Each structure stands twice: as C-alpha cells, then as structure tokens.
Amino acid sequence: MKKRIIIISFINALIFISCSGSEHLSNSIEPVVFPPAPDEPRIQYLTSFSTSTDFTGKQAAITSFITGKEEPLPILKPMAWQLV
C-alpha cells in the first residue's frame, strides 16, 4: 500500500511538472554598433578573442595528460574590423 502511494505521488509530481509553463528566453540583447543612433551604424561588435584557446579550443584531456598542460598564449595586438 505504501509503495502504491509513493508511485501515485511520483506520477502526480511528473504531471504537475510537465504541465507547468516554461518561460521562453529570447535573445533580446541589442547589438553593439558604432556610430550610435540616429546615424547609420557602420561597425558592429561581434565577438572578442583574448587567448589562443579562443581559436584552437580547449586541449583534450588525454592530450593534456600525455603531453602536459599547454598554457594559452595571449593575443597582444588584436585588430580586426568588419564594415557592415
């Protein structure tokens, strides 16, 4: 009897959880552009790179174990613009 109550309670909890509404998060972040309004935007900030791992990705765990941890190299003069 006790086992049956636990199972029914679990099923009810699943039903209530599945019926609950989920708030859909939208990507409402405004793009960063220059010059600001009311002028026509010409340059847009897309992303930033600060180390070599931004380009190559993280080192695999097995590679790190065999060859040792590789320290990421800093990018000293990052200069790149894309005209919109």
Q: What are phi and psi of 34, to 5 degrees?
A: -135, 140
Is residue 62 within a helix (H) or strand (E), and if so which, with residue range? helix 61-67
pLDDT 10s digits, 1-20: 788 888 888 887 777 776 66
> What is the pLDDT at residue 84?
52
Q: What pLDDT is attached to residue 27? A: 58
| Gap between the Cα atoms of 29 and 27, Å rounded | 6
How many residues make up the chain in this entry? 84
The model's pTM? 0.37
* Residues near 49 by beta carbon (within 8 Å), at least 6 away in sequence: 55, 75, 78
With 70 as the cut, is the pLDDT of residue 22 above it? Answer: no
- How is residue 45 written in tokens? 């900030």
